[in-house]
Amino acid sequence: MEALLQVRGVARRFGAKQVLHGIDFSLRPGEVLGLLGPNGAGKTTCLQILAGTLAPSSGSVAIHGHDMVRAPRAAKRRLGYLPERPPIYPEMRVDDYLAHAAALHGLPTRDIAKAVQRVKRRCGLQQVGPRLLGKLSKGYRQRAGLAQALVHEPDLVILDEPTDGLDPVQIREVRMLIGDLGRSCGVIVSSHVLSEVQAVCNRVVILRDGRVLHSGPLGDSAPTRALRVRLRRPPAPPQIEGLPQVAAAVPDNTPGGGPGVFGIELAEGFGADQLAKALVGAGWGLLELTPARSDLERIFFESIGAEESGA
């Protein structure tokens, strides 16, 4: 399948400071890619270059073969972008704002009203069309920013912290929307919340100091049955495995582990609360019980070297 987005050797310098160093990756239709990295990794600069609001010092970005520098209009017609701070005008009404965004994206005048109604339904804005953007809650302003990125039905959608300021119900709705988008176009999501990336993305690119440290697929994001426990008076692992709630138990010798710390896989049909009760009842002094790190957490912290620093 032909790549929707091609990023080749992208570098960016601000004066004497080199912020990006030869970034390379691609994205195909139907993929949802998480862009991650610690503060100062170059994520914001990378997103701005992908969105065409900042030119690279060298390298290229192409959407469906249209180079973002040499053919910006053709490339941007296929792009929807939600920056971390939604580009809204407080004095405009939601309907007028979305119609303005549709016109800027090149939609024919005859199609704008229908496009506005469609994207309002998609983003849950049907009830606030006549209201001023400046009078909306932060959550609704975020939704309006998302709607302007989708009003022209782009092939590539770039979302920077899309769930910022949303309540749990709205976060779930945005997750569902991203999943729906991923069926028909390519999506790039940048977020500081690893659980959000784990929930919606099937690929990840991790940056540090302007370089790609990891690029690859994510495994199944289904909830894990793996737990991490710390015991005051630890027995041998076979004794822990003797509990009906435990399918397997192994000493945790990773950084942050040590004596009394075990990785435990729950037996089918049991929950963490039942395991906690059993550990306390056995007299082993339960000090801590937490979910084991997800695949994404492991990949992220190993990539940025935080394990070695004790983070």
- The answer on 232 and 198 residing in a single domain is no
Any domain includes 169: yes
Looking at residue 152, its pLDDT comes to 96
- The answer on 201 and 241 residing in a single domain is no
The label of the residue with tokens 């390298």 reads: 59
Question: pLDDT tens digit string along 251-293?
Answer: 877 656 678 999 898 998 898 899 999 999 999 999 998 876 6
Any domain includes 298: no
38: which DSSP letter? -
Residue 206 token pair: 């991790």
The label of the residue with tokens 């570098």 reads: 11
pTM for the full predicted model: 0.75
Burial of 109 (0-12, 13-18, 19+ CB in 10 A): exposed
Tell me the mean pLDDT in the region 72-79.
93
Question: pLDDT tens digit string along 144-165?
Answer: 999 999 999 999 999 999 988 7
- The answer on 192 and 62 residing in a single domain is yes
- The answer on 133 and 266 residing in a single domain is no
Q: How far is CA 93 from CA 12, 19, 125, 132, in A?
A: 37, 38, 12, 4
Question: pLDDT tens digit string along 7-65?
Answer: 999 999 999 999 999 999 999 998 999 999 998 899 999 999 999 999 999 999 999 99
pLDDT band at 104 (very low <50, low <70, confident <90, very high): very high
